[in-house]
Structure 1
Amino acid sequence: MIIITGGAGFIGSFLQAELHARGEETVVVDWLGHEEKWRNLQLHAPSTMLSPADLDAFLSTDPPVRAVFHMGAISETTATDGDLVWRTNVTLSQRLWTWCAKREISFIYASSAATYGAAASMDAFSDIPAKLDSLRPLNLYGWSKHVFDQWVMRRIAKGEKAPPQWAGLKFFNVYGPNEYHKGKMISVIKVKFDEIRRGQSATLFRSDDPLIEDGHQARDFIWVGDVIAVMLWLLDHPEVSGLFNCGTGTARTYLDLTKAIFAALDVTPTVSFVDMPTALHGKYQNFTCADMSSLCDKGYDRQFTPLETGIERYIKDYLIAKTPYR
């Protein structure tokens, strides 16, 4: 049995689909709500569906679990309720870590590239544990993820009991199907796709850094299928533990991304720029790029999907297909 917290969400439901295809018994812990989030699971229902409020009672029965994928979190980079974020992103993660450690169960969890803050070069995006305490996240979400990473690494350094396998994955900018419920946190690819399909120009934020041209803010965009491939590889390699980046190792500009969407739709590019919202000033990462050497050194050798290929796949296989869900 495998537990997936946040298993009805974007990355969690894609993982659920792949585990379902493998014939695994899964327990998804999530809220479905009153919207269309259930559709993320419609093609691959879990063996058991639990509300987060019922998780502790379920764990108290000592179910036969062999791995926990902890994807559940408050992931809004604009979140402001510090108490709620702490309870959800830190305290719950600590409880699950401790439960897995006691019962010797693999624990793979979602960290975030938001932990890196305003790093400006690839050298700064190193997942070397010794650099962890020098990171300065720009928002509450990134800080909460950073706090748990630090909590984990302190326990490892002290030699305290840990899960037999543990892995924290610092996800970079993930895109792909099943993200439609995410509201303002949906990927920029889906947002620009919608603008273009409405016949509008694609709008991008003007740069708030005089050294960066408008549209040349750059991120490490990773296809969700590549993220899942990393997680399944870890599941299949229980001897591998650590805190790892999960990106492609290549930074691409928002102009690159926008042009790829136009190309996939066979539409002539038209791009306009708008001022960055005041709420994002000082909290916006103008550059991210994963140093993937740690994971590769552990033996991961699968190639990552180029941005243009991933965008074309997302649009043609999902966004304009009869069934946009994985």
Structure 2
Amino acid sequence: MIVVTGGAGFIGSYLHAALRARGDETVVIDRLGDGDKWRNLAKHPPDQVIAPEELDDFLAGHPPVEAIVHMGAISETTARDGDLTWQTNVALSQRLWTWCAHRGVPLIYASSAATYGDGAAGFDDDGDLSHLSRLRPLNLYGWTKHSFDLWVARQIAGGRPRPPHWAGLKFFNVYGPNEYHKGPMISVVKVKHDEVLAGRPPRLFRADQPGMADGAQRRDFIWVGDVVAVILWLLATPGASGLFNVGTGIARTYLDLAHAVCDAAGVARAVEFIDMPANLRGQYQSFTQARTDRLRAAGFAGQFTTLEDGIGHYVRDYLRTPDPYA
């Protein structure tokens, strides 16, 4: 049995589909709500769906868990409820770590590239406590993810109990199917496609950094299938423990992304620039690029999908079909 928290969410449900395809027994920890989130699981129903508030009772029953993949979180970069975000992103993660350590169960958990803040300290996924302490996240979400990374580093440095195999994954900008419930946190690829579909040019924020051209902001965009390939590899590689970036290692501009969406949709390239909203100023990462050295050194040999190929796959095989779910 593999437990996937946030298993009805974006990355979690895509991972869940892969686990079911290979015949794994699965338990999803999530809330389906009264919207269409259930459609993320429609093609690959889990053995159980358990509400997050029932997770502790479930684990107290000593189920035969082979591994926990902890994807559940409050992931909004604009989150304001500090207490709820801490309890969800840090306290719950601490309980899962402790349970896995005592039960001898592997744990893979989602961190975030938001922990790097404005990137001034670089994008090195060194999990050493002294290195992590130099990072300065820009928002509450990034800070809570960083806080758990720091807590893990202190457990390791102090020789305290740990899962027999663990990995924290610093996801960069992930895009792909099953993200449709994410509201304002949906990927830029989906947003730009919707604008093109409505007959409008894709809109991009004007640069807010001195000397940077509009549309030249660069991010490390990664196809969700590549993210899941990394997680599956980690589940099969017990010797690979640590903190790992999960990105392509190549930053691409937002202008590149907008042009790729236009090309995939079969429309002429055109872009409209707009001012950045006030609530994002000072919290916006104008550059992210994963260092993948540690992941490669650990043995991951998979190739990452190019931005153009990933967007083409997403648009043609999902967004332009009657059933866009994976």
Please give the TM-score of this superposition, normalised by the length of structure 2: 0.98
- State the shift of 1:239 in Å: 1.6
Match of 1:27 in 2: 27
Quick check: 1:289 aligned with 2:289? Answer: yes
Q: How does 1:234-249 map to 2 (within 5 A)?
A: 234-249=234-249
Q: Distance in 2 between matches of 1:211 and 1:172?
A: 25
Q: Distance in 1 between matches of 2:147 and 2:91?
A: 10
Distance (Å, rounded) in 1 between the aligned partners of 2:62 and 2:211: 55
Segments of 4+ moved more than 6 angstroms: none
- The aligned residue for residue 126 of structure 1 is 124
Distance across 2 between alignment mates of 1:128 and 1:99: 25
Name the residue aligned to 1:272.
272
Q: Structure 1 CA distance, aligned partners of 2:20 and 2:132?
A: 35
Counting only pairs closer than 5 Å after superposition, residues 61-140 of structure 1 correspond to structure 2 as 61-119=61-119, 124-130=122-128, 131-140=131-140
SS in 2 for 1:159: coil
Please give the alpha-carbon distance, in whole angstroms, between the structure 2 residues aligned to 1:212 and 1:167: 36
Aligned length: 324
Aligned to 2:59: 59
3-state SS of paired residue (1:300)? coil
SS at 1:124's partner residue?
Answer: coil
Letter in 1 for 2:312: E
Matched AA of 1:80: R
CA-to-aligned-CA distance 1:72-107 (integer Å, 9 cap, x gap): 000000000000000000000000000000000000
CA shift, 1:282, in A, is: 0.4
Q: Deviations over 1:254-279 (max 9, x none)?
A: 00000000011110011111100000
Deviation at 1:305, TM superposition (A): 0.3
CA distance in 2 between counterparts of 1:58 and 1:124 reads 40
- Listed one character per residue, the Cα deviations across residues 15-69 of structure 1 (whole Å, up to 9, x for unaligned) are 0000000100000000001110000000000011101111111111000001000
The AA in structure 2 aligned to 1:295 is: L
1:274 aligned partner, one-letter code: I
**Residue 309 (structure 1) aligns with:** 309
One-letter code aligned to 1:40: N
1:152 is matched with 152
Instruction: State the one-letter code of the partner of 2:43.
Output: L
Q: What residue ranges of structure 2 are gaps of 5+ in the alignment?
A: none
Deviation at 1:129, TM superposition (A): 2.3
TM-superposed deviation, 1:211? 2.2
SS at match of 2:95: helix
- 2:26 matches 1:15: no
How far apart in 2 are the matches of 1:265 and 1:284? Answer: 28
Deviation digits for residues 254-311 of structure 1 (CA, Å, limit 9, x no counterpart): 0000000001111001111110000011000000000000010000011100000000
Measured on the aligned residues, the alpha-carbon RMSD in Å equals: 0.8
Aligned partners of 1:98, 1:156: CA distance in 2, in Å? 12
Residue 3 of structure 1 aligns to which amino acid in structure 2? V
Indicate the SS of the match to 1:136.
coil
C-alpha distance in 2 between matches for 1:231 and 1:262: 31
Cα separation, 1, equivalents of 2:73 and 2:188: 20
Cα deviation for residue 322 of structure 1 reads 2.5
Three-state SS of the structure 1 residue aligned to 2:133 is helix
Q: Which residue of 2 aligns with 1:298?
A: 298
Secondary structure of the residue aligned to 2:111 is: strand
CA deviation after TM superposition for structure 1 residue 117, in Å: 0.2
What SS is found at the alignment partner of 1:161? coil
* Whole-angstrom distance in 2 between the partners of 1:184 and 1:169: 23
- Counterpart amino acid of 1:219? R
- Which residue is 1:208 aligned to? 208
C-alpha deviation, 1:119, in angstroms:
0.8
Normalised to the residue count of structure 1, the TM-score between the two structures is 0.98
Q: Per-residue displacement from partner, 1:235-259 (whole Å, max 9, x unpaired)?
A: 0111210000000000000000000
2:27 alignment partner, SS class: strand
Report the residue type matching 1:124 in the other structure. Answer: G
